[in-house]
């Protein structure tokens, strides 16, 4: 009697584990290639189960791996491997473990998995373009190619560079980023489809402690847990290769040696004055034929004369005559002279002849079209240089951000100096104060000191050209810059004395 009950119980259990296959199927509608198909099913009290082999056939061109002895199967879908075991509720997607609501069923050299749970898992981890209607038993396939394919994290001396791989650029308004008080940094991209698996596979380094990615309807979000303080961040889109580059700047080491190094550096004793253009490079031309190179050199010499006459500062000129000096050599002169401040003097130009005013620039990727246009115009000087060794071909995108990161220790001081120059010029010049801006000027790259570029006026504006041709007006500009330098020097000395 006891044996009979055990046998009945075993048969009941066996029937639950391996139910009879019924004629019902999941209908497949593939919108990608306008085809239809079917997936075999098993009906169970716990729901509809689908054939793993059939799922592989309709979603992949690669045959699954089957180990009948161990009741295991591996499906190759997209860039991922799904490991399924008969009589187990766990599925491995690559190395991540997911638990299904019920056990998979081994039947006739195939594994059947609860349909809704399996298709949801595939959609979330591997193939976002599928949808399953459990009521109608229809699998809809509309494969959309990922346009965010991965991320690289590179550690630098004073920060971390994130390179998010994309298939094409996005409108600027589609990308946003912010730090949350919970210690996570979020990058959100609208109208994007992210390969979450590839993102999660990324190597972790630098300030990044953990990385996650989610697809929220038509919006992709990448989240990074940050383990140290970040002073600031910048975001830039590169075109070749297509990527979103994010720089996370971290504080410098505050060791005793570092403090002494900074204090020594801030004994402001040498000023480098760089008169823009020169020689075969005339720079911007005014309506009356005024050349930027001539006005810039005159203003630079006037500033230098004031410094030499009224202070004990040493003045270094990158050029004192009408000679051509390559951009890279200008900052090389500054560094080799142990310069403590680098000022590059220029005059602006615009197709719009009514534009006028003065502005001061910092080295960072340009944020406005006007700033980018000004930098592009000033950088055109490289066409006069020897092209056998193109030093500037990689100075865009990530490399420009890394160049600015290398000089970020001087950024605050550069900002203060630029603001002081604008303030002094605004007091004396009857022209428009166009403010402090940022752009990727090649001439500023590599200057290991506070560095700014002054655009003292628009030569293309007839009235401003007239003023700039006047020696008294140029002397007023020189006086303003001189006063700003003295004011800046005093503030630095006060800071060092107090700290």
Per-residue confidence (pLDDT) for residue 306, from 0 to 100: 96
Provide the pLDDT for residue 386.
53
Task: Identify whether the C-beta of residue 467 lies closer than 8 Å to the C-beta of residue 356.
Answer: no
Which residues in 129-262 belong to E strands, given as ranges? Answer: 130-133, 138-141, 148-156, 159-166, 175-179, 184-190, 208-216, 219-226, 232-239, 242-249
Contact status, residue 374 vs residue 361, Cβ threshold 8 Å: yes
Q: Is residue 211 part of a domain?
A: yes
From the list 408, 310, 294, 289, the residue with the least C-alpha distance to 345 is 294
**Final residue in a domain of this structure, among 125, 141, 157:** 141
Same domain, 178 and 288: no
Which residue in 140, 127, 122 sits closest to 82, CA to CA? 122
pTM of the model: 0.46
- Same domain for 133 and 158, yes or no, is no
The residue written with tokens 């593939």 in the block is 30
Q: What is the DSSP string of 243-278?
A: EEEEEEE-PPP--HHHHHHHHHHTS--EEEEEE--B
Are residue 223 and residue 285 in the same domain, yes or no? no
Asked if residue 358 and residue 485 are part of one domain, the reply reads yes
Count of structural domains, the chain: 3
Residue 229: φ, ψ to 5°: -65, 140
**CA separation for the pair 65, 83 (Å, rounded):** 9
Based on the domain organization, do 205 and 245 belong to the same domain?
yes
Within this chain, do residues 61 and 105 fall inside the same structural domain, yes or no?
yes
Give the pLDDT confidence score for residue 308 in this predicted structure.
Answer: 94
State the CATH number of the domain containing residue 406.
Answer: 3.40.630.40
CA distance 153 to 203: 7
Among candidates 265, 211, 309, 234, which has minimal Cα distance to 449?
Answer: 265
Range of the domain at 73: 20-141
Token pair recorded at residue 275? 């008169």
Chunked mean pLDDT (size 10), the chain, 499 residues: 48 45 77 90 86 94 93 90 94 90 94 95 84 92 82 84 90 90 92 84 87 86 91 83 87 57 70 93 95 97 95 93 87 84 93 95 56 44 48 43 47 89 96 83 58 93 97 97 93 70
Same domain, yes or no: 226 and 296:
no
Query: Running DSSP on this structure, what letter comes out for residue 285?
Result: B
Contact assessment for residue 206 and residue 365, using Cβ atoms and an 8 Å cutoff: no
pLDDT of amino acid 448: 67
Distance CA 435, CA 422 (A): 7
Q: Is residue 450 part of a domain?
A: yes
CA dist 39 and 140 (Å) reads 12
141 within 8 A of 192, measured Cβ to Cβ: no
User: Of 195, 215, 249, which marks where a domain is finished?
Assistant: 249
Residues 336 and 473 in one domain: yes
**Region at 226 (left for phi over 0; alpha for psi -120 to 50; beta for the rest):** beta
φ/ψ (deg, to 5) at 101? -70, -15
Q: Is residue 9 part of a domain?
A: no
Do 276 and 389 have their domain in common?
yes
Cα atoms in the 13 Å half-sphere on the side-chain side of 64 = 25
Q: Comparing C-alpha atoms, which of 235, 180, 178, 228 is closest to residue 207?
A: 228
The whole-number pLDDT of residue 491 equals 84
Which one of 107, 141, 175 terminates a domain? Answer: 141
- Alpha-helical regions (H) of 343-470: 369-379, 397-406, 411-428, 462-468
Same domain assignment for residues 172 and 119:
no
CATH of the domain at 208: 2.60.40.3500
* Amino acid 310: pLDDT: 93
- The CA-based angle 465-467-468, given to 5 degrees, is 65
């Amino acid at each position: 009697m006891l044996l009979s009950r055990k046998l009945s119980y075993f048969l009941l259990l066996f029937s639950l584990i391996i139910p009879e296959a019924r004629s019902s199927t999941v209908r497949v509608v593939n919108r990608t290639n306008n085809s239809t198909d079917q997936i075999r099913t098993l009906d169970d009290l716990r729901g509809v189960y689908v054939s793993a082999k059939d799922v592989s056939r309709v979603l992949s061109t690669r045959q699954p791996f089957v180990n009948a002895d161990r009741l295991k199967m591996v499906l190759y879908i997209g860039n991922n491997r799904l490991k399924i075991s008969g009589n187990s509720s766990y599925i491995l997607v690559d190395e991540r473990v997911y638990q299904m609501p019920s056990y998979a069923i081994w039947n006739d050299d195939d594994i059947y998995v609860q349909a809704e749970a399996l298709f949801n898992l595939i959609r979330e981890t591997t193939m976002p373009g599928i949808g399953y209607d459990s009521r109608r038993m229809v699998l809809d396939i509309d494969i959309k190619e990922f346009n965010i394919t991965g991320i690289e994290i590179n550690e630098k001396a004073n920060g971390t560079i994130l390179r998010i791989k994309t298939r094409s650029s996005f409108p600027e308004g589609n990308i946003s980023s912010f730090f949350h008080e919970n210690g996570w940094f979020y990058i959100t991209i609208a109208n994007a489809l992210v390969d979450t698996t590839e993102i999660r596979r990324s190597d972790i380094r630098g300030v990044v402690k953990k990385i996650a990615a989610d697809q929220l309807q038509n919006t992709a979000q990448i989240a990074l847990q940050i383990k140290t303080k970040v002073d600031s961040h910048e975001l830039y889109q590169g075109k070749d290769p297509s990527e979103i580059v994010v720089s996370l700047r971290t504080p410098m080491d505050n060791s005793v040696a570092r403090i002494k190094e900074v204090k020594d550096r801030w004994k402001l004793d040498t000023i480098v004055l760089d008169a823009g253009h020169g020689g075969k490079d005339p720079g911007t031309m005014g309506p009356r034929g005024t050349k930027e190179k001539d006005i810039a050199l005159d203003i630079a010499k006037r500033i230098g004369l004031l410094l030499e006459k009224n202070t004990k500062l040493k003045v270094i000129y990158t050029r004192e005559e009408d000679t051509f000096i390559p951009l890279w050599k200008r900052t090389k002169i500054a560094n080799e002279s142990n310069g403590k401040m680098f000022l590059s003097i220029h005059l602006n130009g615009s197709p719009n002849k009514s534009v006028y005013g003065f502005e001061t620039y910092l080295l960072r990727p340009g944020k406005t079209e006007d700033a980018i246009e000004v930098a592009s115009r000033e950088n055109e000087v490289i066409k006069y240089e020897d092209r056998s060794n193109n030093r500037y071909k990689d100075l865009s995108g990530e490399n420009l951000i890394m160049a600015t990161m290398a000089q970020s220790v001087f950024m605050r001081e550069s900002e203060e100096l630029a603001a002081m120059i604008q303030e002094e010029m605004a007091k004396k010049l009857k022209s428009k104060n166009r403010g402090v801006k940022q752009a990727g000027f090649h001439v500023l790259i590599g200057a290991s000191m506070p560095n700014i570029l002054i655009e003292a006026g628009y030569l293309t504006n007839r009235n401003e050209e007239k003023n700039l041709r006047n020696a008294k007006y140029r002397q007023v500009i020189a006086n303003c810059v001189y006063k700003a330098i003295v004011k800046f020097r005093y503030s630095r000395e006060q800071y060092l004395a107090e700290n």
